[in-house]
Amino acid sequence: MNSPQPAVGHESGGRLVLAATPMGQTDDASPRLRAALGSADIVAAEDTRRARSLAAALDVEITGRLISYYDQVEAARTPALVEAIAAGQTVLLITDAGMPSVSDPGYRIVVACAEAGLRVTALPGPSAVTTALALSAMPSERFCFEGFAPRRSGARTEWLRTLLDEPRTAVFFESPHRLADTLAAAAEVLGGERRAAVCRELTKTYEEVRRGTLDELAEWAAAGVKGEITVVLAGSVDIAPDLDTLADRAQALVADGMRLKEACAEVTQGIAASRREVYQTVLDRRARD
């Protein structure tokens, strides 16, 4: 039986520090972030230019070694950083905005440090996920974070189907260029009356929060949207699907190759609806056609 890994365990004194950075307002930077930028042995930044700009805005001099640490180099540079931590150095990891490892680089090095028994700590701060959730006017007692919406339409449709019966509020990121298509697809898969909120440019000068149904938001986004986007989607507990809606969903699954009985079982899973009634509704439609 394996023994539990130590939460902080390396005698060298080295550590990895995950630090949240401002999403737009420099004043949101914590005093601890300022101190860490000026004292870390190594600052691993998603974008070194942004790191230098942030330090300058905070009137802090980065005295340690500044290296880039973004998606394409994350795997290659993690071992050397882990070695530095094992040798007693402090590595500060920052991303362009928000908390590292939340749809940003960071996960790999946290896992590597945990496996090596090295200390990992965090400097909490701004997060687009929780900020958008708080502003959305959606239930926040329970929620799930879905990362970035899939880019390809087929994968996006399959992903949206996983949210059909998700009772929790869902939060996800999206590119402004794909937002209209994603909202339109969500309206088609989840129902146009499902409520959502689109949060744009959070904490910045042109911050905007749009709340409404998926149909309404898709129509608004079709005119074009700019900026950093976070979407908050109401959970299925706020929706009471009628038989026609469930029959529509079942027929969509049948069109994709699923047997009708299996499709009816799928669309009624986890909700108070009879799959037999959905099945009969589809058969009645076929008889009328």
What global pTM score does this model have?
0.75
Domain at 129-236, CATH from 3.20.20.80, 3.30.950.10, 3.30.70.1560, 3.40.190.10:
3.30.950.10
What is the rounded average pLDDT of the residues 260-285?
85
**For the chain, what are the domain ranges?**
15-126, 129-236, 243-288
Q: Is 155's pLDDT higher than 80?
A: yes
Region 248-261 average pLDDT: 92
Which parts of the chain fold into alpha helices (H)?
31-39, 48-57, 71-86, 107-116, 128-135, 153-162, 179-190, 214-221, 243-255, 260-268, 275-288
Residue 10 pLDDT grade (very low, low, confident, very high; cuts 50, 70, 90): very low
pLDDT tens across 97-151, in order?
999 988 889 999 999 999 999 999 999 999 999 999 999 999 888 999 999 999 9
Q: What percent of the chain has pLDDT over 70?
A: 93
For residue 42, give the 3-state DSSP assignment: strand
Task: Report the pLDDT averaged over residues 261-281.
Answer: 83
| Model confidence pLDDT, tens digit, residues 29-84 | 999 999 999 999 999 999 999 999 999 999 999 999 999 999 999 999 999 999 99
Tell me which of 3.10.20.30, 3.40.50.1000, 2.60.40.1250, 3.40.1010.10 is the CATH number of domain 15-126: 3.40.1010.10
Quote the percentage of the chain above a pLDDT of 90.
80
